[in-house]
Amino acid sequence: MSSPRPFTFLSPGAWLIVGLAVVSSLAYLAWPVPSRPGRDFWFFSPPNEQHYRAILEKWNAAHPHDRVNLVQIHYQALERRLVAAFTSDTPVADLVETESLMMSRAFAGRLEDVGFVDLTDRLHREGLWEKINEPSFSLWTTRGRTFGLPHDVHPCLLGYRADLVEAAGIDVAQIETWDDFRRLLGPLIRDLDGDGRPDRYLLNFWENNRDLVKVLLLQAGGDVFDAQERVSFDTAINARTLASLVSWVAGPRRFCVDARDFTAGGDQMRIEGTVLASILPDWQAGTWKSNLGPLSGKVKLMRLPAWERGGLRTSVWGGTAIGVTKAAPDPEKSWAMAKHLYLSPQVAESLYRSTYIISPVKAHWQLPCYREPDPFFSGQPVGALYIAEAPHVPRRIASPYMTLAMERLMSVLVALKAHALARNTFDAASLLPEAPRRLAEAQADLAAHIARNVLYAAAPAP
């Protein structure tokens, strides 16, 4: 029997694929890859480019041998590139501007393996911890160490249709709690077309909006993780809050409606008065001004109603920071650039005028722009209203499991609503026995999932 000829174990098509792979690999190795001089700064939010560009052009002109290259990358692409860089040593920029969930992905392993430079000692040594709104550091802190310089604060106020509320003779100064809000504004829930269903609701909220649920949970004093970054679903505060939220969206006393943000339909509901009020972080106030022109002069801002008398009258929604990666050849120069941008009063004013985002730098709170009356919000000094709430925003936990935790929490809230509908029982007190049971189940499930990560050891903050 003759032996088979060499290389006949592959088909011609397979050999073509192998050949193309070899040629492309050789071309990749031989192809010259141009490199830009200086350091790269990756960011994801297009509006931020205009605030940074002017500062960086002056910096680069004054430091021709220490240029900074501004590179915009789409959010999802930036998140993937960061994860790849921190887990497999692929190239990464010296400076990266990240959103909270994006940075927390870097916290999933051992503390010493976090891909960002630990800024904790620098912040204290240089006095920045005292100069910047202290709660704003919490999103960028894990196990007592801080890895980001905050870009913002994002306190929340309530935006409402002042024209309709005041025409009804309602004084919002009498609203201190969410119960007051429901009671005093309740008469404005009306069936305007006679079909037997309300055509006007009080608040933009729905039970599967995890951002709004988190905002309200934080305001109530709850959270899904404790200060030691351990799962903390099964608490009395969480149970009471979720039970109350079910009564907001279901049953005869329902006062909320789904008027989706960033949608034409949701904006039209706000313009037509289908919904009277929305929870607005500072950036969302800027979105209203940009997208809801017909409401100019018809809306105002007020403090959030508290969950109980004497309780917190604000909350917090979102967050961005800048970090120095450990790949930076000269971390001190990168840190100097980060401070140059983020502590700039010019950037602070530009950012506020275009987005209503207030600076976390307390010295900048004296900028005149924050006190200018705004015609859209009926002449109110929008910046000053948000700044008044900035020191009181809740502290947050930067867990790499936050997205998964909120998914579990949303499942509990949706199941709790289904429980209420099945039994035709909607008051919070009647739902309290069911809420802790479902929260305990979700907590056990998530804790078991996290325990599988032997490299992530949450430890008490100092």
Range of the domain at 324: 39-154+318-391
Report the alpha-carbon distance of residue 209 to residue 239 in Å, rounded. Answer: 17
Q: What CATH code is carried by the domain that includes residue 438?
A: 3.40.190.10
Residue 221 has pLDDT above 70, yes or no: yes
pLDDT tens for 172-188 read 999 999 999 999 999 99
Phi-psi category of residue 143: left, alpha or beta, with phi > 0 → left and psi -120 to 50 → alpha: left
**230 and 342 together in one domain:** no
Buried b (16+ CB within 10 A) or exposed e, 292-326: beebeebbbbbbbbbbeeeebbbbbbbbbbbbbbb
Q: What is the pLDDT of residues 423-462, one digit of tens each?
A: 999 989 999 999 999 999 999 999 999 988 877 755 444 4
**Is the model's pLDDT at 166 over the cut of 50?**
yes
pLDDT digits (tens, 9 = 90+) for 139-157: 999 999 999 999 999 999 9
Q: Are 177 and 278 members of one domain?
A: yes
Same domain, 218 and 361: no
**Pairing verdict, β 156-161 and 299-302:** antiparallel
Predicted local distance difference test score (pLDDT) of residue 385: 98
**Is residue 420 domain-shared with residue 284, that is, in the same domain?**
yes
Number of domains in the chain: 2
* 8 is a domain residue: no
Q: Write down the pLDDT at residue 27.
A: 58
Q: Are residues 383 and 406 in the same domain?
A: no
pLDDT tens column, 94-121 = 999 999 888 888 888 888 989 999 999 9
Q: Supply the Cα-derived Rg of the chain in whole angstroms.
A: 26
> In terms of domains, do 201 and 250 share one?
yes
Q: Is residue 262 part of a domain?
A: yes
Distance between terminal CA atoms of the chain? 78
Rounded to an integer, the average pLDDT of 49-76 is: 88
In this structure, the answer to whether residues 279 and 351 fall within a common structural domain is: no
Threshold 0.85, pTM exceeds: yes
**pLDDT value for 108:** 86
